[in-house]
Amino acid sequence: MKQLLQISVQEATLRINKIQSLMAEQRIDAILISDNANKFYTSGRVFNGYTYIPAKGQEIYFVRRPVDLTGNNLEYIHKPENIIEILQKNNITEPSTLGIELDLAPYSMVQRIAKIFSNSTIANASGILRQARSVKSKFEIEQLKTAGIKHTETYSQIKSIYSPNITDLEFQVEIERLSRLGGCLGQFRISGDSMEIYMGNVICGENADAPSPYDFAMGGAGIHPSLPVGCNGTTIKPGMAIMVDVNGNYTGYTTDMSRVFSVGTLDKLSIKAHNCSLRICHELSSMGKPGIEAKLLYNKAIEIVTEEGLDHLFMGHRQKAGFIGHGVGIEINELPVIAPRSRDILEVGNVIALEPKFVIPGVGAVGIENTYVVTDNGMECITHAPEEIISLD
């Protein structure tokens, strides 16, 4: 038998309490969690089933599979209909308002749950979970720092795998291998299922300017129209910028880090834009203190690129991304969002990836991406690879 809970009881309680206090604000009497990322958040493991959180008291883990778990607050079920039977058996009142992750849960599943909880009004619990997860605990920050260290170790080996006339795809495959041998879990979580990326992206040359289906600064055409993003088989040539943005999921928590490599020296514009990205990261990370509005960080970045005359290349050229940074953690797209209309306000414990990037047509993409922890003194960088353009030859 295996322990259900893969985090300490204290850590689980801290997270459940945080969710419960948000539930109280929104007058939700219970939440039934079905999303894998949120199940992992509430238990430290992924299982087939649901986490049930009442307004007060203990959470209950309703598990279908795996069949060999043990632990407190664990109830095995065959189907969701069993949940209500077990609650009744334990004299737990049916909630008058039941929260479900309506932004994630398929319509048919919600209908089924609503039928089971026929005396409950259904409410959207997606926001509560996003908000709870946006402020990381001490333990979660440790997981992210460990990921940052391993992510950096992988990036430090990238130079060793370059050989002349390698394609961006071959280069990416070798980086994937380095990442995996270094402990990267491979799969990383993206909230919602419409964004599909494999491991991350290696993009160079003209391909950086190919629009993708997603809200990315640089997309890349990809190698197949079923997965139209990322490297496209371009041979890496002198004068190209090679942007490496491969995921940092080494601990179930993902850091996000991008670095630029080059063969030979890049042109002046690319170097200028890259240095501008460093400037933005440094200015924003000292500006990013608790209480500041996320959109002010975005505005500051725009102010800097406009001052430097680089706004037409910033965050994409033919297709532009609508943000310069985003929360990371269990998923790659968490709160807060650093975007012009963001209503988020920075808090101690936010973990944010800043990615001020530029697309230089014909050359590639330049700029860096780092992951930062918001502290009382500003944003502490936890992705440590050298920030300058790294020469491959």
Which residues of the chain form contacts with a second copy (CB under 8 A)? 6, 34, 36, 40, 44-48, 65-68, 100, 102-111, 124, 126, 169-170, 173-174, 176-177, 180-181, 183, 185-187, 189, 192-194, 196-199, 210-215, 219, 223-228, 251-252, 318-319, 330
3-state secondary structure of 11: helix
Contact residues for 111 (Cβ-Cβ < 8 A; gap 6+): none
- Shortest Cβ 336–a second copy spacing (Å): 20
Q: Which two tokens stand for residue 248?
A: 């940092």
CA distance 329 to 372: 11
Min dist CB 285 to a second copy, Å, is 28
Tokens representing residue 74 in the block? 């664990």
Phi, psi of 357 (to 5 degrees): -125, 160
Cβ nearer to a second copy, comparing 185 with 381 = 185
Cis peptide before 66 (omega within 30 of 0): yes
Nearer to a second copy, 56 or 177 (CB): 177
- What is d(CA 265, CA 60) in angstroms, rounded to the nearest whole number? 58
Give the nearer residue to a second copy in terms of CB position, either 67 or 118.
Answer: 67
Beta-carbon neighbour count of residue 321 at 10 Å? 18
Q: How far is CA 117 from the centre of its chain?
A: 32
Burial of 384 (0-12, 13-18, 19+ CB in 10 A): middle
Nearer to a second copy by C-beta: 236 or 330?
330
Q: Which is nearer to a second copy, 255 or 277 (CB)?
A: 255
Nearer to a second copy, 183 or 290 (CB): 183
Nearest distance, CB of residue 219 and a second copy, angstroms? 7
Torsion sign across C-alpha atoms 333, 339, 341, 345? positive
Q: Cβ of residue 217: shortest distance to a second copy, in angstroms?
A: 13
Closest CA to 11 of 140, 189, 148: 140
For 97, the 3-state DSSP assignment is strand
Edge-to-edge strands of the sheet including 259-262? 200-204, 241-246, 259-262, 390-391
**Which residues, in sequence order, are CB contacts of 30 under 8 Å at separation 6+?**
52, 53, 54, 55, 95, 97, 98, 99, 120
Closer CB to a second copy, 100 or 310, in the complex:
100
**Which residue, 195 or 345, has its beta carbon nearer to a second copy?**
195
d(CA 52, CA 30): 7
- Work out the angle between the directed axes of helices 126-134 and 36-43 (0-180°, nearest 10): 50
Q: How far is the CB of 341 from a second copy (least distance, A)?
A: 14
Tell the burial category of 343 from Cβ atoms under 10 Å away from its Cβ (0-12, 13-18, 19+): exposed
Closer Cβ to a second copy, 273 or 321, answer by number: 321
